[in-house]
Homo-oligomer: A and B are copies of this chain.
Amino acid sequence: MNNFEYKNPVKIIFGKGTIPSVKKEIPENAKILMTFGGGSIKKNGVYKQIKEALNGFDFFEFGGIEPNPHYETCMKAIELAKKENITFLLSVGGGSVLDATKFIAAGALYDGDPWDFLSQRYIVNVEKALPIGAVLTLPATGSEMNGNSVITKAATQEKMAFGSPEVMPQFSVLDPECVFSLPDRQVANGVVDAFVHVLEQYLTYPVNSPIQDRFAESILTTLIEEGPKVLADRNDYNAAANFMWSATMALNGLIATGVPQDWATHMIGHELTAFHGIDHGRTLAIVLPGMMNVKRENKKDKILQYGERIWGVSSGNDDEKINKAIEKTIGFFESLGVPTTLPEYDVPEKTIGKITTRFQERKSKLGEKADIDYEQVGEILKDRL
């Protein structure tokens, strides 16, 4: 196991009927800006519950945050937060709303252009941010229990990430009943997203970390079991709850303690969203099998462990086992209704060139060994044609 530091002070409030508890978590004198997305919270009753709970608070609203939230949209919210001297941000929605809220929280207290946090990551760090509370309506990204955020600049079709302990939510309310009103597509995307989050922290190389490995496998197994149950019966509370808790545990830093991490699948997937607007989870379902195939030597030991412990793959030589693990993974994604090849999303081959050019320009290498260059990015994507 590698040395590590771990601290996660997010307070989780989990369970049915917990949404009104936002009231006791927000300072009484707070001037709140509630952020939300396209308006689903007005249909599923969440908006009403929050308005009732926060009756009497000084309260502003900022709706219309899109999936893969835009820098341009966030800047409008920052302007509002500054103008109204907002002191607390309440994110009500899925990972996109929360990611946007993190950017708004940092941007509201920053004098420069907050895009610096992304374009100059690790050079320009978030030093302060407005406090954030979250009501999560869509299990997927894990944003409710971490300090990460991904923002898209529409003007330049760039999708980039930043992270800071300063933008970790002070609390996150997770009511699994929010899952009841989700469309199939969002459930399926969420299962895939959480699944690939785990694999980005697991499918690397062994460092003798049995607790972390088994926790990761616990989450994978639970997603495989519970995801289809949620799809089959949206009112199955237990399945919704187990899915929701899985997605949170998949990316709260715990399974990353002391182990190498990859994240190349995400980095490449972000480009597919940036160029073609493909749902985030779906981009991961496309890229991951290519990553496993092209990096089968680097990741051999962990892919074999994954195949055996998660899918019961035990016969054949190593290459055959790896092929079988990839097949099983593809089969799982497809069983959720998520296609895994580029043509199924009408992505033309020339997009691959555009993406590799970007990585070539950035000069950064990807993967747990920083050995995936732009040419290998191309190989991985060609594997998915």
Say if the beta carbon of A257 comes within 8 Å of chain B: yes
Establish whether residues A210 and B242, one from each chain, have CB atoms under 8 Å apart when the complex forms: yes
The answer, among B3, B7, B225, B254, for a CB contact under 8 Å with A15, is B3
Provide the bound-state CA to CA distance between A219 and B210, in Å. Answer: 9
Say if the beta carbon of A209 comes within 8 Å of chain B: yes
Known: A7-B9, A9-B7, A218-B215. A242 touches B1 (CB 8 A): yes
Provide the bound-state CA to CA distance between A211 and B6, in Å. Answer: 20
Nearest B residue (CB) for A219: B211
Say if the beta carbon of A11 comes within 8 Å of chain B: yes
Establish whether residues B11 and A10, one from each chain, have CB atoms under 8 Å apart when the complex forms: no
Establish whether residues A245 and B12, one from each chain, have CB atoms under 8 Å apart when the complex forms: no
A window 227-246: CB within 8 A of B: 238, 241-242, 245-246
Say if the beta carbon of A16 comes within 8 Å of chain B: yes
Question: Chain A: interface secondary structure?
Answer: mixed
Establish whether residues A238 and B1, one from each chain, have CB atoms under 8 Å apart when the complex forms: yes
Which chain B residues border A238 with CB–CB below 8 Å? 1, 208
Which chain B residues border A12 with CB–CB below 8 Å? 4-7, 257
Known: A211-B249, A222-B210. A3 touches B14 (CB 8 A): yes
The answer, among B9, B10, B208, B249, for a CB contact under 8 Å with A242, is B208
Say if the beta carbon of A258 comes within 8 Å of chain B: yes
Establish whether residues A226 and B242, one from each chain, have CB atoms under 8 Å apart when the complex forms: no
Nearest B residue (CB) for A175: B3
Say if the beta carbon of A360 comes within 8 Å of chain B: no
Say if the beta carbon of A8 comes within 8 Å of chain B: yes
Using an 8 Å CB-CB cutoff, how does the interface string of A333-373 with B read, 1 for contact, 0 for none? 00000000000000000000000000000000000000000
Say if the beta carbon of A214 comes within 8 Å of chain B: yes
Say if the beta carbon of A298 comes within 8 Å of chain B: no
Say if the beta carbon of A13 comes within 8 Å of chain B: yes
Say if the beta carbon of A181 comes within 8 Å of chain B: no
Provide the bound-state CA to CA distance between A42 and B6, in Å. Answer: 28
Q: Which 7 A-B pairs have CB atoms at the shortest separation, nearest pair first?
A: A3-B15, A214-B218, A9-B9, A7-B11, A208-B238, A6-B12, A1-B241
